[in-house]
Amino acid sequence: MELSSEDNLRLNVLLANRPQAIRIDESRLIVYGLSERGEAKVTLNPTGALDAYLRAVKELISGHILGSPGGYPVYLRRWTRMGQMRDQSLEQLLMLGESEAVVAAVGSPGLTPELARRAWWAMEDAENARRMLRNPTIVASTMGPVLADYLLEYLPFETDHETMMESVRLVLQPGLLSDEKILELWKRSTRKQAYLVGFLRARPDDLPEPLQPRADAEEIATALAAELSAGNAVAGLLVRVTSAAGQRFLKTLSAVLDKPPNQDIVSAGFDLLRGYFAVLRPEGDPNLAIDALLADGEAFVGLGGHTSARAIEEVGPEPMREQVQRILEQLPATAPDLVTMRLLSGAGYGLIRPLLPDPTTLGSLMRRKLTPAIEPLQAQIAQLLG
């Protein structure tokens, strides 16, 4: 289909002025161009079917920008999805008036702050904001707070829990939100476990409203000062857990597991536990049920009267078992804490599988079926909370 002579002329003038980005409002039939002087627009006057006319407009733009009249070419679509676009091509992608081209640009590791500004003008979208906030260069630029504010305002309209968790994690990166906005978001998280997971992922040691350290925290830190200096990672974790920040982390994670809405939140809570206590289980998720985890923890600390069948990998200059024994020599009363820390480091799918084989189960039914695993975990967390 041929464009009307008026549209053809005005679009060519727009392109001749070397726009920085192009956006097409298909519902209002307007082509916008971004330039250093501001925003220009061309109101279209279709001479035939709208879909065919818009395709002709895109072909004109693509022919001018890429030398290809086929719109956003299939081979470019394939390359950008695979992350194979060259950085020098990103500027061209933003001038095609194609949403998928913008998505490809914002997901590129070579995106610059200036190109991020143009891309955001071309397509304000929550998923685009998340893509750009995964890029450290964009986070550190003036675009970072702009994108974070957008995600914060859009957060109440999100329905997918993983998306909520990721949005909160991203906006809580340093330098994006003011202290007031962070505290406001924290207060909104009271009944939103997905928001709490985002906080725990983003700043596990810097959560708002820290609790008091555990009553014996100072005693533990003093007694283990030499071990800390010697690089005892298990001692460092015990001190971290009993600190004010550690107590807040555990209490917040307990709130996440108290009434999770679905299995995504449960799995995210378990991932956080394994990550926080990972130094005690370098082999990763052991895929064990709760009883096996408890037996493993007791054997690990030497309370079961036998050594653990699972080999303990070395952490630092000494085997982990030696690090544990050196702590027990100084503080034998911490044995239950060490058992609990080892157990929590193994929280994973093995806790869910025997109780809830159907991944679609959620809500109160899910929580009831998971009670045999969640209640013992909560009791273990309570042990560390003193």
> Which of the listed residues 203, 235, 255 is the one where a domain comes to its end?
203
Same domain, 109 and 131: no
Report d(CA 264, CA 301) in Å as an integer. Answer: 32
Same domain, 92 and 187: no
pLDDT tens per residue across span 352-373 = 988 988 888 889 999 999 999 9
Over residues 173-185, mean pLDDT: 97
Query: How does residue 309 score in pLDDT terms, banded at 50, 70 and 90?
Result: very low
Same domain, 137 and 118: no
Range of the domain at 262: 210-385
Q: Domains in the chain: how many in total? A: 3
- 62 sits in the region (left: phi over 0; alpha: psi -120 to 50; else beta) called alpha
Question: For 164, phi and psi rounded to 5 degrees?
Answer: -60, -50
Contacts of 197 (CB under 8 A, 6+ apart): 165, 168, 256, 265, 268, 269, 272
> Which of the listed residues 100, 122, 144 is the one where a domain comes to its end?
122
Same domain, 215 and 197: no
Same domain, 322 and 197: no
Same domain, 131 and 118: no
Over residues 323-343, mean pLDDT: 94
Angle at 74 between CA 73 and CA 78, to 5 degrees: 120
Token representation of residue 199: 């906080």
Same domain, 310 and 359: yes
CB–CB of 323/235 below 8 Å?
A: yes
Q: What per-residue confidence (pLDDT) applies to 321?
A: 83
Q: What per-residue confidence (pLDDT) applies to 310?
A: 44
Q: What per-residue confidence (pLDDT) applies to 308?
A: 39
Q: How far is CA 214 from CA 238, 239, 247, 250, 341, in A?
A: 11, 10, 7, 12, 15
DSSP assignments along 295-350, one per residue: HHHHHHHT-SSS--SSPPPEETTEEHHHHHHHHHHH-GGGHHHHHHHHHHTT-SHH
Same domain, 66 and 146: no
Q: What per-residue confidence (pLDDT) applies to 317?
A: 33
- Mean confidence (pLDDT) of the chain: 90
Q: What per-residue confidence (pLDDT) applies to 319?
A: 74
Counts for the chain of helices (H) and strands (E), in that order: 22, 5
Tokens 């330039």 sit on residue: 35
Same domain, 375 and 235: yes
Please report, in angstroms and rounded to a whole number, the separation of the first and last CA atoms in the chain: 75
> Which of the listed residues 122, 137, 155 is the one where a domain comes to its end?
122
Has residue 313 got a pLDDT over 70? no
Report d(CA 379, CA 383) in Å as an integer. Answer: 6
Q: How far is CA 66 from CA 61, 71, 230, 287, in A?
A: 8, 9, 61, 52
Pinpoint the alpha helices (H) of 25-159: 50-65, 74-81, 90-93, 99-106, 113-122, 126-133, 136-139, 143-154
Q: What is the pTM of this model?
A: 0.88
Report d(CA 149, CA 106) in Å as an integer. Answer: 17
Pick from 53-62, 76-85, 131-140, 353-362 the range whose average pLDDT is largest.
131-140
Same domain, 94 and 159: no
Contacts of 45 (CB under 8 A, 6+ apart): 4, 6, 7
Lowest mean pLDDT among 46-50, 142-146, 237-241: 46-50
Over residues 43-50, mean pLDDT: 93
Report d(CA 283, CA 370) in Å as an integer. Answer: 25
Q: What per-residue confidence (pLDDT) applies to 354?
A: 87
